[in-house]
Amino acid sequence: MRIACPFCGPRENGEFSYLGDAKPKRPAPDAGQDAFYDYVYLRDNVAGEMEELWYHGGGCRSWLKVRRNTVTHEIFSVEPVAGAGAQKVAS
């Protein structure tokens, strides 16, 4: 599998580290224990398209959001998620 880094170009997946689902958002501090339990521990086990966070640690050290089919490994989009790089691509 290759991931097309928006800064470096297509790279082998060995240059990237996988974090996981890009969807979970930290609940508000007063959201309650169930919301935090869900945020910390519960994950969907998607067979199909999902958005994931990957880190290009073996290259430009950018965090990327990758929309990928977990069954076929087809990749639909790759975009930076944080920092100066993301602002650059968005503008």
Partner 1 sequence: MVELSVELSWAETTPLSRIYAAGRQGAKEHDAGLTMAEQTGFELVQVMARRGQWSATDQACKEAYGASAPAKPHAVVAQGALLVWSGPDQFLVLSPRGDGLERARLAFAGMASLSEQSDGRSLLRISGARSRDLLAKVCSLDLHPAVFPQWAAAATSIDHTSVNLWRSTDRDGEAVFHLLVFATFAESLWHTLLDSGAEYGVAIDAPGAWQA
**Cβ closest to partner 1, residue 61 vs residue 73:** 61
**Of 20, 24, 32, 83, which lies in the binding site for partner 1, with binding defined by CB under 8 A?**
83
Residues 10 to 39 in contact with partner 1, rule: CB under 8 A? 11-12, 14-15
Write the DSSP string, 6-74.
Answer: TTTEEEEGGG-EEEEES---PPPTTS-HHHHHHHHH-----SSEEEEEEE-TTTT--EEEEEEETTT--
Residue 57 binds partner 1, judged by CB under 8 A: yes
Q: Give the interface with partner 1 as residue ranges (CB under 8 A).
A: 7-9, 11-12, 14-15, 57-62, 80, 83-85, 87-88
